[in-house]
Amino acid sequence: MSGHDHPHEHHDHDHGAQGHDHSHDDGHGHTHDLRALGRHALLVALALNGVFFVVEAGVGVVTGSLVLLSDAVHMLTDVIALVVAFAAATVRLQPRSDDATFGHGRVAVLGGLVNAVLSLGAAVVIVVEAVDRLQAPPVVPGAPVLLTAAAGLVVNLVAAWWLHRSGDRGVNTRGALVHMLGDALGSVAAIVAGATLLLGGPLLIDAVASIVVAVVVAGSALPLLRDVVQILLERAPRGLDLAKVRERLRARPEIKDVVGLHAWNLDDGETMASFVLTTDVLDLQKLVVVADEVRDELEHALGIVHATIEWRPLDAARACCDDKAKPAPSEDGTDHDPDRHQSAA
């Protein structure tokens, strides 16, 4: 006997276990609402940054301030990144189809990748220009730099707050939020440079503050790039202990062992899992109910929002999908080795 119970079908069909479908549907509806709010927040942030980029770049050109031009370059990457993020968020809201059976969540991950790469590129450009200016720092008026940087700080904080309050924690929106916070720290560096110049401080402060901006930009982009690569490589989600997942599954009396377990993220915070469970229960209807209960438990306790479950009887257990997890002890105290059993057709 072998039964397959798929979570994607579960959302659309009744498996005979009353009271489970509504919780899953409500969870997906909540996720869709968060994505819509995230998309709206991205549009607001794009409008704010687009307008201020023109202002900051203009003042930077007129005054010759590298720190303002550096922050404007970062702001430009923000605008480009926000356009990409908004487009990705729009596509992500499209429903699943036969061509995109998991939906379009990975498009948003690609948006996060573009964000990270643009930020790192901007950091390199800023550092190269700053090193040149350290050789012969130009005279830069402090007042325009100070006022423009202060206005930029307000814009960045408002945009960051708007993104945060949307509740969307996917890498796409989080990448945009990282951009806003990095820009806010860049504005702080520009404020310090403007105040120093206004008080008659050394002209080198403009170039030094620009390097600080570049370091902040790179420092915010690297963790984002790490998370995006982690998702695209389909590594186990950070913070998810697979040993605890196995322990939780084996704690149920109907489940004798977990002989196949894989977990990955579709987007940050949208964890998927598939596993093969061995059982001595022969009642398929009961196993359907148990599968629904397991999904609910994994979603609420560990954040696994999609789970694909395959049931196998003990006499047809096998290691699958190169699963190397240590088998659970059998009732006679010896290890249950799935490889010793004949593979089921």
Sign of CA dihedral 325, 329, 334, 340: negative
| Predicted model pTM | 0.62
Q: Compute the average pLDDT of residues 94-120.
A: 75
Write the single-letter amino acid at 293: E
Q: Compute the average pLDDT of residues 241-262.
A: 89
Q: Compute the average pLDDT of residues 201-225.
A: 84
**Which tens digit of pLDDT belongs to each residue from 150-184?**
888 898 888 888 877 766 656 667 667 777 777 78
Q: What pLDDT is recorded for position 11?
A: 39
Q: What pLDDT is recorded for position 36?
A: 67
8 A C-beta contact, residue 149 and residue 185:
no
Q: What pLDDT is recorded for position 282?
A: 87
Residue length of the chain: 345
Q: What is the dihedral of CA 300, 273, 240, 170, to 10 degrees?
A: -80
Q: Which CATH architecture has domain 237-340?
A: 2-Layer Sandwich (3.30)
- Would you place residue 100 in the very low, low, confident or very high pLDDT band (cuts 50, 70, 90)? low
**Which tens digit of pLDDT belongs to each residue from 128-145?**
888 887 887 877 788 888
- Would you place residue 101 in the very low, low, confident or very high pLDDT band (cuts 50, 70, 90)? low
Distance CA(295)–CA(306), nearest Å, equals: 8
Mean of the per-residue pLDDT values for the chain? 75
* pLDDT at residue 345 greater than cutoff 60: no
The more confident residue out of 210 and 11 is 210
DSSP assignment, residue 263?
E
- DSSP-assigned letters across all residues of 204-260: HHHHHHHHHHHHHHHHHHHHHHHHHHHHHTTPPPTT--HHHHHHHHHTSTT--EEEE
Q: What pLDDT is recorded for position 21?
A: 40
Going from N- to C-terminal start, the domains of the chain cover 29-232, 237-340
C-beta atoms surrounding 332 within 10 Å: 6
**What's the CATH class of domain 29-232?**
mainly alpha
Which two tokens mark 216? 């902040």
8 A C-beta contact, residue 243 and residue 215:
no
**Which tens digit of pLDDT belongs to each residue from 274-310?**
889 999 988 989 999 999 999 999 888 888 888 889 9
Show Cβ contacts of residue 131 under 8 Å, excluding neighbours closer than 6 positions: 207
**Which tens digit of pLDDT belongs to each residue from 50-70?**
888 888 888 888 888 877 787
The more confident residue out of 240 and 220 is 240
Q: In what order do the strands lie in the sheet with 257-267?
A: 3-5, 304-313, 270-279, 257-267
